[in-house]
Amino acid sequence: MADLARLTEVIEPEANALGFELVRVKMVPSEAGDGGEALQIMAEDPATGQLIIDQCAALSRRVSDRIDELEEQGEVLIEGAYQLEVSSPGIDRPLTRAKDFANWAGHEAKVSMAKGFDGQRNYKGELKGLDGGTVVIEDAKAGEVKLPREQIHSAKLVLTDALIAATQPLDTSGADDIEEEKADD
């Protein structure tokens, strides 16, 4: 299993060097159905809240080169073959950073708590923002609840008309030129 903290340490400076902010790094099963894994990197340009295709490609090249460089030095970051996927967070973006919960207050969100959380596991309702280290959400069933951020398993915005209206139009320039590459071990 890949060490996500170490991967984030490697990837974040590469994103920052291009002027981007890292939103999420995640390992998932490959969609190719070959039993392999995919390294998903989600980043955004702070000016737009998204990445266009050329920006995704630039970040993909930088990260790929950096991982190759570290592997040539003997550090194995990901066992076996994997696919590298770089994307923009999209409109119904995941909420991973403290500022995400603050910036998207007023919009509907889904929050799933980690196993072992004392109480309800899933919440859905209007995101109220942050109160110290807790996320405040007006859950449709439980009312206003405060959830410890460190115990959140996943959180994302829900696609609504209000969210669409509040989001800049996505730039799809270059979408016809997408090419997938598979990293070799």
Q: What is the pLDDT of residues 56-74, one digit of tens each?
A: 999 999 999 999 999 999 9
Q: What is the pLDDT of residues 93-107, one digit of tens each?
A: 999 999 999 999 999
Task: Specify the pLDDT at position 1.
Answer: 65
- Listing DSSP states for 70-100 in one string gives HHHTT--SSSS-EEEEEE---TT-B--SHHH
Across the strands, what pairs with 108?
126
Can you give the pTM of this predicted structure? 0.80
> Which mean pLDDT values do the consecutive 10-residue runs of the chain (185 residues) have?
90 97 92 80 93 96 96 92 92 92 95 86 95 93 93 93 76 57 55
CB distance 42 to 24 below 8 Å: yes
Domains, the chain, in order of start with CATH, read 4-90 (3.30.300.70), 98-166 (2.30.30.100)
- In this structure, the number of other CB atoms found within 10 A of the CB of residue 86 comes to 24
Task: Specify the pLDDT at position 173.
Answer: 58
Task: Specify the pLDDT at position 115.
Answer: 85
Task: Specify the pLDDT at position 183.
Answer: 56
Task: Specify the pLDDT at position 25.
Answer: 96
CA distance 70 to 66: 6
